A and B are shown apart, each in its own frame.
Chain A
Amino acid sequence: MTDEIVLQAKGITKRFPGVLANDRVDFDLCKGEIHALLGENGAGKTTLMNILYGLYRPDAGEIWVNGRQVTLHSPRDSIRLGIGMVHQHFMLVPVFTVTENIMLGAETLHREMGGMPVTGWQRWWQTIQLDVLDRQGVAKKIAELSHQYGLDVDPDAMVGDLPVGIQQRVEIVKALYRQANILILDEPTAVLTPQEAEELFRIMNQLRERGVSIIFITHKLKEVMAVADRITVMRAGRVVGTVTPQATDEAQLASMMVGRNVILTVEKKPTQAGEEVLRVEGLRIRDARGLEAVRGVSFSIRAGEILGIAGVQGNGQTELVEALTGLRLPHAGRILIAGRELEDLSPRAILEAGTAHIPEDRQRHGLVLPYAVADNLVLCTYYQPPFGVRSVLQPKAIDSYAGRLIQDFDIRTPSAYVAASKLSGGNQQKVVVARELSRPIRLLIANQPTRGLDVGSIEYIHREIVAMRDQGIAVLLVSAELDEIMALADRIAVMYRGQIVAEVDAQSARREQIGLWMAGVHD
């Protein structure tokens, strides 16, 4: 790390209707440093990065790259200035090879970089021109790059066949191929196993040594402490401060993010497991493509206990939860709730058997975003008295119920009539949690209940889940965050390629061992 500043944002302000997303934000990045950007959801990190990547134009403020003030009209401009971004969702075509993916859209770019700026008409012309693709040349270049930075990417591999961790490296190579020396990594570890994350940090260190500057966006405090040179914390659109890992600790970072002291560990009493609530025997489930995603899974959960299912995303957890909540029909196996086998496996039958479901994707499954908060709070019970009496909705009953839940669960909303889409991610999740936990239930299925949430909301939802357990409810917790599983679960089952490969008592579980099981390594 040197003191040479390669990228600087001065007084960036960006206003969206009703929100001040960035308020006079100052940020700078030195050559060869990893600068972590930490903050809750909605703190303005992504807005700032989108401004630096040319996706948004700031309302006020200046951007300086390599000592020159610049105006970014589009990502094209920022790429030309050597800024590369790896998005949370990879922008890769699965049926193309690594080489083809990296070439995609870069051919024309290549010609531009040599000469004069390209005007609109020329760009049109270039788009319709047919070029002979120089696959071999590019493949060679990729091999060089991947060797140089220790990335280990096979240029001829089909992207769809690669594990997520490698796909991410392809994105990094793609940015390097476009001659990026400033990399923005947006929540890069969220899809990775602990081992893959370690590997990514090794690569990040290597890139730093070769003079690449990295902005690392995350909400995981441990990671920040491990790899960052400097840490900038944002809250509510403003920069709270910039610190070094040596001069801070996790607790301080958390309170900077949230604006108050946060309890990072979940307090919970030892479990007092009662009778069996959910039993699953030999469950086999096919995914949307007809492939067997769950291959013979059996487990049971007792009242007052939390079974945590650990595993990297995409190992059958989604399908398992869908089957348990009636959204997907298993083709073999049995599901028993309170000792009774369910004959009708429809979502409503399972719901009425006393199951609450916090879904993986709250915006897709858990909420009807254009609906008012009140309507979302009765999404599963609208037809039952007092909300629906003889097929007629009772707005008064719905309103007063909504008012009560908004208060009880501290949902921050201007009123019960505001559309759920207007709420922040944490409050949207609170709407889901409030709805699901306010029904008479005996089983709670929570799939990634804190994904994408800020520290404050995570703390809140963790406490709710433990409170449910203490009330004698059986909890199935599925999470790709090993820390979450370790903190909450009483027993831990590890899923790998559609099977439960290990089941251990949470107290005797070792983090490293579970990480290995998640990666499919057996002793």
Chain B
Amino acid sequence: MQLDNESRGMFWRSVLSAVRAALRAMLIPLLAVFTAMLTGGVVIALAGGNPIAAYVGLFQGAFGSARALSETAVWSTPYIFAGLAVSLTFRGGLFNIGAEGQLAFGAVAAAWVGYALPEVLGLSLPPIVHLPLAIGAGIVVGAIWAAIPGALKAYTGGHEVINTIMMNYISLNLVSYLLNGPMKDPDPLNVIARTPLIDENARIPPIVEPLRIHWGFPLAFLIACLVWWLLWRTTLGFEIRTVGTNIEAARYAGIRVKRILVLTMALSGALAGLAGAIEVTGLNYRHELGFSIGYGFDAIAIALLGKTHPLGVVLAALLFGAMRNGATRMQFLTQIPVDIISVIQGLILLFVAADRIVRYLYRIRVAEERVVLTRGWGG
């Protein structure tokens, strides 16, 4: 009995320490956001605006009405998926800068399945088949596209940062060609590089009409939970994290490191592709050139702000979504250009990446830090 109590006490202590660790992990990002908003306020004031009015406008635009909330959710949805994509690679010791390209390919694939597959097959598909097929196509294409730099890294040593950047150019130009050429909306009145509308059966229904918020938003939360479960509750997740934390120890433990590197990139690409597919099937009902510009890059900032933890990524994505969404109202009310939001987001990233600044400003000591200047062979 006594032992039982002891182990229960140990369990609660571990829960408590986990909560404390979570709070500690959130401290720096929260202070980084706060500091960035403060600095952004100074920039607004220097530009001749009223920072308080601007932030009030931003807040109203993001949360002020049902429509505002819906739009914040709409903005946040791809951010969550793409943020998860990038953070997964960080956990695996990789850096996927190619989420942008994987996302665009996923969108194109989903759009093609959405508008062309029934014609190709010569039959109409029911929603229960058509929608999953469209989303699945986005996932698969994104995964394959990301697995290429993963394989290059694993088997040739080619650095994934360089290769994913390069593949962004390839994919963005290829998509541009497809949307201007073979996949272009044949409507004679159309001059825009975009696909035809996808079939009704391949669309994700909105949650409450006439708001644009769709079921992709709750799906994003579900996927975030799934990513957490994958990373911390499966053997594959153990392997991914081990490779990401100590690749030598992973090899020693018999983990097939090369396979894991490829798989991590593929999973990341799948999530990025999913982001694109959800945008097409849930929101735009087609793929249009330029709709997604920046999601994949903002995702890097979101992953870092969220400390590459799925929960943190969701929170960071909601913040970025709210800011992007609220910016329009802010501009309408105060004539401060929406671009100030990019400045603030840049500052957030700066303060998160260079957390020394934040720690210095708020006098936060790092408990874990142990200075080791000379180390023996035994360490």
- Is A61 an interface residue when CB atoms closer than 8 A count as contact? no
Partner of A364, one of B7, B248, B254, B365: B248
- Cβ of A453 within 8 Å of any chain B Cβ, yes or no, is yes
A365: B residues at CB distance < 8 A: 248-249, 251-252
Q: A490: CB under 8 A from chain B? A: no
The answer to whether B370 and A16 touch across the interface, beta carbons within 8 angstroms, is yes
Nearest-CB residue, chain B, relative to A393: B233
Least CB distance, A329 to chain B, in whole angstroms: 12
List residues of chain B with CB within 8 A of the CB of A56: 371, 373
* Docked complex Cα distance between A425 and B372 (Å): 13
Question: Is A371 touching B245 in the complex (CB atoms < 8 A)?
Answer: yes
Q: Interface readout for B264-289 with A: 1 if CB under 8 Å, 0 if not?
A: 00000000000000000000000000
Residue of B nearest to A395 (CB): B233
Q: A362-B379, A417-B17 are in contact. Are A393 and B234 (CB under 8 A)?
A: yes
When C-beta atoms are compared, the residue in chain A nearest to B242 turns out to be A368
Closest Cβ of chain B to A34, distance in Å, is: 20
Q: B335 within 8 Å of A by Cβ?
A: no
Q: Is B246 an interface residue (CB 8 A)?
A: yes
B373: chain A residues at CB < 8 Å are 50, 55-56
Contacts of A82 in B (CB 8 A): none
- Given the known interface contacts A17-B367, A452-B377, the answer about A347 and B235 at a Cβ–Cβ threshold of 8 Å is no
What residues of chain A lie closer than 8 Å to B10, measured between beta carbons?
A: 415
Task: Contact check, A16 vs B376: say whether CB atoms are below 8 A apart.
Answer: no
> What's the nearest-Cβ distance from chain B to residue A257, in Å?
15
A68 interface residue per 8 A CB criterion: no
Q: Once the chains bind, are B238 and A392 in contact (CB under 8 Å)? A: no
Interface size class of chain A, counting residues whose CB lies under 8 Å from the partner chain = 35 or more
In the assembled complex, the Cα of A41 lies from the Cα of B376 at a distance in Å of 10
Residue of B nearest to A454 (CB): B378
Contacts A41-B378, A362-B379, A452-B376 given; does A348 touch B256 at CB 8 Å: yes
Q: Which of B223-271 contact A (CB under 8 A)?
A: 232-238, 242, 245-246, 248-256
Distance A391 CA – B237 CA, assembled complex (angstroms): 9
Contact A364 B249 (CB under 8 A): yes
Q: A226-273: which residues lie under 8 A (CB-CB) from chain B? A: none
Please tell me if B375 contacts chain A, counting CB pairs below 8 Å.
yes
In the complex, chain A residues 332-374 whose Cβ is within 8 Å of any chain B Cβ: 346-348, 351-352, 357, 359, 361-371
Interface residues of B in 1-41 (CB under 8 A from A): 7, 10, 13-14, 17
A415 touches which one: B14, B233, B245, B365 (CB < 8 A)? B14
- Is A190 on the interface with B (CB-CB < 8 A)? yes
Contact B379 A425, beta carbon cutoff 8 Å: yes
Interface string of B335-378 (1 = CB under 8 A from A): 00000000000000000000000000000010111110111111
Q: How far is the CB of B366 from chain A (nearest CB, A)?
A: 8
Q: Which residue of B lies closest to A363 (CB)?
A: B379
Q: How far is the CB of A218 from chain B (nearest CB, A)?
A: 11
Interface magnitude class on chain B: 35 or more
Q: Does A205 contact B (CB under 8 A)?
A: no
* B379 A452 Cβ-Cβ under 8 A: yes
Q: In chain B, what residue has the closest Cβ to A418?
A: B17
Q: CA A147 – CA B379 in complex, angstroms?
A: 35
- In the complex, what's the smallest C-beta–C-beta distance from B157 to chain A, in angstroms? 13
Within 8 A of B (CB), among A141-160: none
A190 / chain B contacts, CB cutoff of 8 Å: 376-377
With A88-B375, A362-B379 in contact, do A17 and B245 touch (Cβ < 8 Å)? no
- Taking a contact as CB atoms closer than 8 A, the residue among A19, A49, A393 that contacts B238 in the complex is A393
Q: In residues 358-409 of chain A, which contact B (Cβ within 8 Å)?
A: 359, 361-371, 375, 379-380, 382-383, 388, 391-393, 395, 403
Q: CB-nearest residue of chain B relative to A16?
A: B370
Pairwise interchain contact A88-B235, C-beta atoms closer than 8 A: no
A64-92 Cβ-contact flags toward B at 8 Å (1 or 0): 00000000000000000000000111000
Please determine whether A88 and B376 come into contact, CB atoms closer than 8 angstroms: yes
Other-chain residue from B250, B254, B374 in contact with A50 (beta carbon distance below 8 A): B374
Q: Does A186 contact B (CB under 8 A)?
A: yes
Q: Does A327 contact B (CB under 8 A)?
A: yes
Which single member of A19, A191, A367 contacts B249 (CB below 8 Å)?
A: A367
Residues of B bordering A, CB below 8 Å:
7, 10, 13-14, 17, 232-238, 242, 245-246, 248-256, 365, 367-371, 373-379
Query: Can you identify 18 A-B contacts, CB atoms within 8 angstroms?
Result: A46-B376, A88-B376, A326-B254, A327-B251, A327-B252, A352-B254, A362-B378, A365-B248, A366-B252, A375-B238, A379-B242, A391-B236, A393-B232, A393-B238, A403-B7, A415-B10, A415-B14, A452-B376
Q: A347-B254, A351-B254 are in contact. List 13 more A-B contacts (CB 8 A).
A: A16-B370, A346-B254, A348-B254, A364-B246, A364-B249, A367-B246, A370-B245, A382-B253, A388-B235, A393-B234, A395-B233, A425-B379, A451-B377
